[in-house]
Chain A
Amino acid sequence: MAEYTLKLRRYDPQSGEAPYYEEFQIDLEPHRSVLEAILQVKAEQDGSVGIRCSCRAAICGSCGVRINGKAGLACHTHLDHAAKTGVNADGKTILVEPMGNMPVIKDLIVDMDAVHWKKIQRVTPWLINKQPVPEREYIVPHENMVDVTQTMACIQCGACVSDCLSMEVDPLFVGPAASAKAYRFVGDPRDAEQFERLKDLAEDPHGIYDCTHCFNCIEACPKGVAPMNQIMRLRRIAGNDHHIVDRNNGERHERAFVSLIRDYGLLHEAELLPRSYGGDSWFGKFHPAAGQELLDSLPVLVRGIARGKFAPKKAIFGHRIASADLKAVKAIYDKVEGKPRRYELNLYISGYEDDDAPGAAEEPATVAAGGDGMPSAPGPDPNRPTAASESESA
């Protein structure tokens, strides 16, 4: 047995009192879970502690909390691990708080309906059948369903929503869980509305382009759903396959960035900004949207030049790598971009090769095998053949 101090954030909105922290001493073996500790406190010390839980086996998703500042499942976190994580860890104290970005109902219980479930509903979380509906079951290529299993692993615990840093400043952001749910249907070959789903999420000012790429949701998720990676896939299919040019500059920003690296090898910051607003060409800066942005940014640029941060010449013309290297970079672009289909390696599905394991070399860790044995990206539907449909016909 070991002794731990459980520091709980207590709050009852109906009491009229402010939130406060309360410490409880517990005596449990280090491999027992934080949930067991909370339940021990509830059973033996203070029955009024509020916690939502059910399965105690990391499958129902009820006991999402913040442990030492990071969201996770209380039933899925060992006491010894919890006590030593966090910058201020002392190996003994475990801070447990309700999840973030959602209103607190009582103590460790948050209002999932007010935030999480609303956002899930917002992405039309059901299959919209392609017509005609077959008389019997749909025949779906195995690879395509494997591709969406990562998002299907979600148990709706809300940990990713809790720690989403975009939602912290923009509560209207559709958020990680709902975006992952959106990919579940965007990636499903039976769904009839891939384009409409993507157009909707790209054009929403709080949609897929509002993600700030902070990886917090990937870190928080107890099931490996990697919501941020799913958001990047939604962007990839929206921009590259459906050419959805959104009002949020998302697609333009991506296209400008990619072509500036092709042309310069290095990022040309002063060109990226106007092109993200006005379109991906040297003339982008003369577009009215870019003009307004440049005008707004003028004081910033002038200040930078005044401080000697960047020379006017460099700001205007940017910097490049040597021409021979630029040629090599362009050759890579031509070869990779010239392919009919994108290649995408999803390590969640393919796994990691273990060099030491016998027979590892004989089992190439690819799932969605395309024409040359490479993993292949989920493509648009039905405009292009997917890897899976090709391998079926092969």
Chain B
Amino acid sequence: MSDAPLVLGIESTCDETGVALVRGLDLLADVTASSMDDHARFGGIVPEVASRAHLEAFGPTLEAALEQAQVRLEDVDAVAVAAGPGLSGSLAVGVASAKALALGLGVPLHGVNHVIGHVAVDALVHGPFPETFLGLVVSGGHSSLLRVNDIATDVTELGQTLDDAAGEAFDKVGRLLGLPYPGGPHVDRAAADGDPAAFAFPRGLSRPKDLQRHPYDFSFSGLKTAVARVVEGFEDRGEQVPVADVAASFSEAVADVLVTKTLRACEINEIGTVVVGGGFSANSRLRSLAADRFADAGIELRIPPIRYCTDNGAMIAALGSAVVRAGLEASPMDFTIDSQMPLTQVVMGATESAA
């Protein structure tokens, strides 16, 4: 792959500024700066704080990535940037930087889909994708099932969450349990010492009627309310909330519904490989439950290591590299950022080249 194009990937959809360099499927550098510490005290991402941090972090992050990869900026053959979905103010910094950088370097620019990047990054870890596979993207903003025939040109959305994203539900339950923000890792840690069967929390959209109408969709809002009722019940009775048991039972419900529905989607569509990505795929119960049940079902499960699950430049460089390999035309320089970019849209305003 040493003569494959060198692709620079830029990520700035939320609170992480990521820059990575990929040649073919080889990851040469991946550097991330996060403003999470600035948000934690507010209990959520403050968009303006994140945007300001992106502007400050971009230059140093780019320099560090070039240094790590031992390449010069003028060696870059194409620039890829996350064009959406995400926070508008954050996206504006990364997209503006990417456009001007590509113009200055005289190389093509590809605006790509952040969520599809969460799936694409796995090719850097586990190698080329099979012809058709399912992508399960679970994060603070998304819980989506994708059918991927070609990561650069043919992605369809089978289903998504109808209300909260999985990671969002964890943030809210973390708050209920008095745990620090972000809830994902803290609830996960608390759950390690708890009994996953202590409370029978509901599995959203899993009754036969719901399965018929929403075979590939998720819902975590009802689950969150059920947890709130249990927690408030303990508080009203003046009893101590069994944080570990609640966390474990809640985690079990989320992991169970994600794994069960994804397996079912594999059966219906006769698909033998699932790639899981997104920040919530760092969740330990999701990982262990998925490993067990996919192995039992004889379905290949690919989850990249945790450092590639959270937002980073590698996912954007990986998708950019796939887009370049597929021979897609560059995005036009006036392309707009799209905070609601549809998950079936891999790139911004490009069409397949005739060649």
Same complex: no
